[in-house]
């Protein structure tokens, strides 16, 4: 009953944010809305597949999702006479050109097609192997033509508008600092006791050490969300670090089958490799943010949202992931903390290996703990506390589905999975969860100002 009432409220709010009969559009067919949402999720997964192929880092993947979905969101926002959009007013300038406006006349009848085409176009242009999305764009065109949702003679105008919006987003993305990352000073392990050092089996260099320099969407000062320092490195019996180190060793040596399943379900390590002789083979895995993008799509379908509403929630979630990763990576390279495998192999057991392969960056705070709690709080705000769902996000990657009673329950499982996996200490998990919660609450406070305005207009 609670899930039904919250879903009803969600429709009430989003009907003002995204009216079904927006200017220039006809009232929508529910069957078509369902079909278009399925297409959107399918094409968004095409973007995910490119990221997996490119081995996009977790922060990088969140950036790619954000800008791709922002383009889709822009298409539905432009030309609508209402309060300033809660997401667009978060964008930080400078802007070289105004956001493109939709064409007049019949071409405004299909913002759905333009939104999805623009989403794919941005992904195509900002990802290393983005050209692979040309086939997804061709598939999208055939879907709309074959279902008679768009006439061929109208498609050129739709594509032209989508390309204009996509180019605006691409130009905006070019100002966020990403292109300067390779020019910044490279990270080198300090060699100090208790500090991070490359981990087996691949001993990869540290990933994205200067990600803190990327421009956030919502956060005005990332230092505001810095967690307390981690437990100081100490091998003295009874010290905080000593107890946590031995906890990881003890827990991982007595995992039951359910704990192993939980660890593997939330692994989400795109850098996972295995060896065959002297050949290293990358194992294709989704990123943590990609997992939560998948959960968002499942929730949208379960709640019966239309395409416009679903794009809004996906865009908000992606932008929140982007900022959460910036905050988390800022702390990772400030504390520069050692990983359990390095400390355990050096000081307890040189034969020990964790359940999961350790990703190539410092330990504190736990990235999955941060972004999972951020995602769960954002989604709970829209879908409700008792929103149960079946998570099928990892089925494509060979893992079974899992059932959850709420988004927060899922985020708690994602967090503890890092202890079961042997890749994080407890304080990195617990403080990471707090960090993610603070970030989400800050973002919702900014976004919900617009929600209050819209609801007060109804009164």
Name which of 155, 156, 115, 141 is nearest 22 in CA terms: 115
Are the C-beta atoms of 115 and 44 separated by less than 8 Å?
no
Write 277-283 long-range contacts (CB < 8 A, 24+): 280/202, 282/55
Separation of alpha carbons 158 and 102, rounded Å: 9
Write 247-253 long-range contacts (CB < 8 A, 24+): 247/419, 247/425, 247/426, 248/340, 248/344, 248/419, 248/422, 248/424, 248/425, 249/340, 249/344, 249/348, 249/349, 249/352, 251/419, 251/420, 251/422, 252/352, 252/354, 252/355, 252/420, 252/421, 252/422, 253/352
Q: Provide the H-helix boundaries in 209-287.
A: 240-252, 257-265
Per-residue pLDDT in tens (0 to 9) along the chain, 459 residues: 556 455 555 555 555 455 444 433 445 688 999 999 999 999 999 999 999 999 999 999 999 999 999 999 999 887 554 556 889 888 887 777 888 888 765 545 689 999 999 999 999 999 999 999 999 999 999 999 999 999 998 899 999 999 999 999 999 999 999 999 999 988 999 999 999 999 999 999 999 999 999 999 999 999 999 999 999 999 999 999 999 999 999 999 999 999 999 999 999 998 887 665 555 555 678 999 999 999 999 999 999 999 999 999 999 999 999 999 999 999 999 999 999 999 999 999 999 999 999 999 999 999 999 999 999 999 999 999 999 999 999 999 899 999 999 999 999 999 999 999 999 999 999 999 999 999 999 999 999 855 444 444 333
Are the C-beta atoms of 375 and 292 separated by less than 8 Å?
yes
Average model confidence (pLDDT) across the chain: 90
Torsion sign (Cα): 52, 57, 58, 61 = negative
Domains detected in the chain: 25-178 (1.10.606.20), 235-458 (1.10.606.20)
Separation of alpha carbons 141 and 307, rounded Å: 17
Q: Is 444 helix (H, G, I), strand (E, B) or coil?
A: helix
């Amino acid at each position: 009953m609670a899930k039904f009432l919250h879903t009803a409220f969600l429709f009430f709010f989003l009907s003002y944010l995204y009216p079904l009969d927006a200017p220039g559009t006809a009232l929508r067919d529910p069957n078509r809305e369902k079909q278009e949402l399925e297409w959107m999720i399918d094409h968004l997964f095409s973007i995910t597949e490119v990221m997996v192929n490119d081995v996009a880092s977790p922060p990088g993947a969140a950036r790619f999702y954000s800008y791709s979905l922002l383009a889709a969101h822009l298409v539905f926002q432009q030309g609508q006479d209402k309060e300033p959009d809660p997401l667009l007013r978060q964008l930080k300038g400078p802007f070289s050109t105004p956001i493109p406006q939709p064409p007049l006349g019949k071409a405004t009848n299909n913002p759905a097609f333009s939104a999805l085409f623009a989403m794919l176009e941005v992904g195509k242009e900002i990802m290393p192997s983005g050209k692979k999305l040309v086939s997804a764009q061709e598939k999208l065109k055939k879907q709309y033509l074959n279902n008679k949702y768009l006439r061929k003679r109208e498609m050129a105008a739709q594509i032209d508008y989508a390309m204009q919006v996509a180019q605006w987003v691409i130009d905006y993305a070019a100002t966020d600092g990403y292109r300067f990352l390779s020019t910044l000073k490279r990270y080198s392990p300090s060699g100090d006791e208790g500090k991070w050092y490359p981990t087996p089996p691949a001993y990869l260099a540290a990933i994205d050490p200067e990600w803190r320099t990327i421009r956030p969407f919502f956060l005005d000062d990332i230092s505001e969300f810095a967690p307390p320092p981690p437990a100081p490195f100490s091998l003295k019996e009874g010290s905080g670090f000593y107890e946590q180190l031995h906890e990881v060793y003890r827990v991982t040596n007595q995992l039951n089958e359910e704990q192993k399943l939980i660890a593997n379900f939330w692994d989400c390590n795109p850098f996972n490799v295995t060896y065959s002789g002297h050949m290293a083979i990358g194992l294709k895995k989704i990123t943590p943010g990609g997992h939560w993008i998948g959960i968002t799509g499942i929730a949208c379908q379960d709640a019966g949202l239309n395409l416009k509403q679903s794009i809004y929630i996906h865009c908000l979630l992606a932008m929140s992931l982007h900022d959460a990763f910036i905050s988390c990576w800022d702390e990772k390279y400030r504390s520069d903390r050692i990983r359990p495998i390095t400390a355990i192999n050096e000081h307890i057991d040189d034969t020990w290996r964790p359940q999961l392969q350790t990703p190539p960056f410092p330990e504190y705070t736990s990235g999955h703990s941060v972004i999972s709690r951020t995602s769960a709080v954002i989604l709970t705000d829209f879908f409700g506390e008792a929103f149960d769902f079946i998570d099928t996000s990892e089925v494509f990657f060979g893992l079974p589905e899992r059932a959850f009673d709420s988004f927060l329950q899922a985020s708690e499982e994602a967090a503890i999975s890092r202890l079961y996996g042997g890749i994080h200490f407890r304080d990195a998990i617990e403080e990471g969860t707090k960090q993610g919660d603070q970030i989400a609450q800050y973002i919702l406070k900014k976004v919900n100002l617009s929600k209050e305005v819209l609801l007060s207009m109804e009164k």
